[in-house]
Structure 1
Amino acid sequence: MTELGDRLRRLETVTDAGLAQLDVDELLDELLDRVRELLAVDTAAVLLLNPSGRYLVATAARGIEEEVSQGVRIPLGKGFAGRIAAEKRPVILEQVDHTNVLNPLLREKGIRSLLGVPLLVGGTVLGVLHVGTLTPRPFSADDTTLLQLVADRIALAVHARAAEVERAAATVLQRSLLPSALPEIPELEFAARYVPGGQGQVGGDWYDVFVLGSGAVCIVVGDVVGRGLTAAVEMGRLRHALRAYTLDTADPAELLDRLDRQVHQFEPDVMATVLCAVVDPSGEQMRLSCAGHPPPVISAGAGLPAAVLDLPADLPIGVTTSGRRHTSTVALPPGTAVCLYTDGLVERRGRSLTAGLDRLAEAMFAGPPESVCATVMQALVGAEPPSDDIALLVLRRQPAADTDTDTFELELPAVPSSLKPLRIAMRRWLAHVRADRQATADLLTAVGEACANAIEHAYGAAGGTVSVSLAYQAPDVIAVVGDTGRWRAARGSFRGRGIILMRALSDEVTIDRTDTGTRVRIRRTTTEGGPR
């Protein structure tokens, strides 16, 4: 057996049997140690191309560890390593000097000769592997062949491990950006599904639901073109940017226009389809704007057929900033359900988009959102693994029978942000029992004060809940606010005026404090009254 053959056999034994379970860093370190031994060299290093493809970054080294600790970067095409990557071929330097080596560390370490080869997968350069000696050495063709074989193994391992890491990172990132729980909003119900496509490789599909400062609800479904970690990262940027823009405007077309301008300015290579909808605080209507996204499917009530909304289809985000985006308004009578989704739900190879939309409309109905999601996924996905990501979001305005009653009950987290949705829900119920304007204003303020007291005084850092119940007992509205905490004294001066205000705005206020909680009962007479 030749000397090269013997070295190859020894290398095969290590790479096949000893390295299968190592991660990328451990693998590189082990292979560099083996290369130093097999080639009898003093230094060995791996530099990988960064995501931009413009720089080689020192990733692993033996005998010249400073390359890694100092974060050495070599421009593509420059110096020894940059030349190897740019030309995609081995390079030998029998005498190292400042004219052929860009990295001063190589000269400072006293390296006299260098041999480097490219890391290639399918003709694509991933990086460079090079070795060096502290004494002059004429590297042979056998040395080059052996180093290239090691480089090929490193390239395949790095490529495979990088794909695994990227897939895992993309999955974690996307799951962290999707809402962990949909918000609880009076009169509105939500359910959602997300299923990765392409053998589990996630992409840039997302959905989002959040409450604006006005009490309106913003709903977004989007799809960034592309797959993997890059698409997931871009999705996260768009999601956060759109949320930030809602601090200034609640117009869906304006939100998408701002998002479009941002993408063109800072991320010109990104393209995405987005559907943005805003449900007004009353829940009675929804405004929508569509940036190249599949249209929603809506059912106006139980037993009514669903239909695909006919919306102006503006261009996707990232295509052009010219042209005015459109906002459409859709009524949401009680019981209306709306289905928003990404194209992975309706598009299939060999089937037209129209057929997919028709199939979705047939499956869609105005029922509880969880049931709608289950039915839609069964009808359009079934047991067939999706080839593309699917994001599905269903919202329903509660049917009239669920809200138009003589009583009202709501339990909310004991936090200040709960007061706004409470006022919205109370206002709707008080309109139903036909409370007069003054009684409505007084009850909203009095009950709000009672809830604010519970939020501030009933619980510590662990938090809790506040329950509110209203009942119409002609001619009075009876409100009861309860908590399960232990009362804490007010802190600071000029406090304790909430109870004075409650008494001034009500006909009767009783407060019952016990070791198991506080119960505030407020009675207010209304001059009109009676359910509609």
Structure 2
Amino acid sequence: MRPVYPFDDAATARAVVDDTGTVVEWNGGARRLLGWEAADVVGRPAARLLAGGDGPGSFTPRDERWSGTLTLCHRNGSAVSVWVLAHHRPPEGDGPGHWLVVTPLRDDRPHSPDDPLERAELLQSPCAVAIYDDRLRLRRMNEAMADVLGLPEENVRGLRVPEMSGRPQSLDIERHLHHVLTSGRGDDVRTYLPIGGDGHRYAWLARMAPITDDTGRVRGVCVAAHDFSEQYLARERLQLVNEASVRIGSTLDVVRTAQELADVCVPALADFVTVDLLDPQEFGGELPALVTAPVRLRRIAHRSLLPNTPEAVIKPGQVELYPSLSPQADSLVAGRTIVVSMPSDELQRWLTWHPERADRVREYGIHSSMSVPIRARGLTLGVAVFTRHRRPEAFTADDVLLAEEVTARAAVCVDNARRYSRERETALALQRSLLPRSLPRTAALRTAYRYLPAARAGVGGDWFDVIPLSGMRVAMVVGDVVGHGIQASATMGRLRTAVRTLADIDLAPDELLTHLDDLVLRLAEESGGEGSGTGEVGATCLYAVYDPVSRRCTLARAGHPAPVLLPPGQAPRQIDLPAGPPLGLGGLPFESAELDLPEGSVLSLYTNGLIESRDRDGETGHRLLTETLAGCADPDSDSLEETCDRILGALLPEAGSADDVALLLARTQGLPASQVATWDIPADPALVAPIRKQVVQQLDRWSVSGIAFTAELVVSELVTNAIRYGARPIRLRLIHDAATLICEVSDSNHTAPHLRRAKTFDEGGRGLLLVAQLTQRWGSRHTAEGKTIWAELPLYEADL
């Protein structure tokens, strides 16, 4: 007997036989019963212990429990007829399963009629009652307990609880029995396990009380078992519904939501769950009001008790056609839950049509299936299929109600996610159409950019642009509209168009932001509606103009993060730029700043989604940005693409940013002085001819004399107009790059010229019309000193 537990191991004849029929364990009780030592039988076939050719006819691995009388061979050659109880235990890991075979041995201890265990009067109770002695072996039990166990009292008297049950959970019950035996205090135990030979699981409340003699000594334990399976299952169903309401729909992602439905229901409701949805694209983008068979479904998610979901025939993302004889199609067409069990004619026809699925059903022992349509807001979205193969019981009416309740909750979440995804795709398409698909290549800048929509909040109003200006100058703009969604994207598109329009008239950055502020105010008034006041429309913006001839950059911002500059050979730094108010406040001035940019400088323009997050403030984001930019030392333009990727990798979380992110990197390039020629023009019309001659000579030096005639005419008209209508000083400048010749004439008169149609007998008025006909682009811009008239001639004409 053990020092703590009162278990006499030899009081039960116990052996363990693996699935191959080999004896692997043999205890002292078995030696007492048959006389064989453990060394004589362990490792040998158990069939050698049978006498007279008897064998357990129904003793197969499919049975979880077997009991009956066997004739065994004693070591002395005699035959011993004993009643045995065998429990099959499934394999653990890669090893084989085994059978625990037990039979009680006769208790040689004398029992007095005054024994309190014998005098217990509870055996006629309608409750299931059992009495255990001080060795925690069964002494007596009533008929109700015998019915529960499915074993006769006379055969199992003398066995311990684990020996009668064969379940690992019964060890916990025995520990409670021992506690009552040693402490003398009663105990209540709730357990959920199979009891009896049918394999079904029941919920039990076991009330344990000590049995004492006249002296108060504890002589045994009385156990009264109460079946509260219905209450237990009802609580489990409520718990599953509550868990589904919490876990399903945590995101607005269709795949994630479908997977949450499958995860919640395994193993609480089924052993294998699949979620298949209709594809709206097959119906023109909208789900049909009525589903007809055959129906094509896409596997969105599945979950199994078994690793790697071996029951599944198709993988998530794949499409399968379900005919009218399948439970899935029947459920969708009928609009109600379809429950089928094996064997059934309906399921057999479906499996005959689909041999591969039939093989899986046979291999894993699938015996019951329940197809529940996923419906929300009057539309059928798909079907959820619940399958059982480990749990022996089929689906009940309560299971159907539970599955429908959970699926209905999930259907609303799936539909919300589907609608959100559709709206997000629409907003993304709108945003992509409004953002530049590529940035222009200019002689002033080499650029790289990245745009990432918000991971969860939906598309926003971030935008960026690079706009070629006159005189080979280039404008860079980055902006951010307040809010998310289609409205923010639409507002972004209007502001981007406005910026390009204002940039075409060559406004200074601070003036451009002033006009843009007025536009945002008007948009806010329009969005506010009648009598509702000002709408919630706002934005931030940064606008910069770089001149490759002077290598100077003029910048202004409206509440936007300041850009970071990386001069060649130096450490990156944030540009000291007046912040300015956000767009939409109105009445507040904007200030611009001008700085020299050495050739090869890198400007980093971005929106606040890059540097700010819930876990990091703007200052920390700026520090990370400057540290990452410090690695951008390669003057090769391709390195800007790598730098963009490094910046995003360093500043953004793997799950994506909570806000839109726009990033624009620009490396400056200067125009050599040899490609610029400048003349001061006297205010004398007679000196136009010498100027024209000097222009032709300069074109010869640049090897572009093929456009000399056209350039002569353009220069003559522009210079003559400046002498006639402008004010001194007058200056002519030619700028030449690989593709364009730019002619600029500047004077101190702020009045801008305009193109007009001359009448038949007018002597003038045709100069600008002639310039417009001879050039690919022309225009005027205001400067601090006056104005500049410019015209661009394509150099490809020189090759004709």
Q: TM-score, normalization: structure 2?
A: 0.34
Give 1 or 2 for the bigger CA radius of gyration.
2
Name which structure has the greater RCO, CA cutoff 8 Å, separation 6+: 1
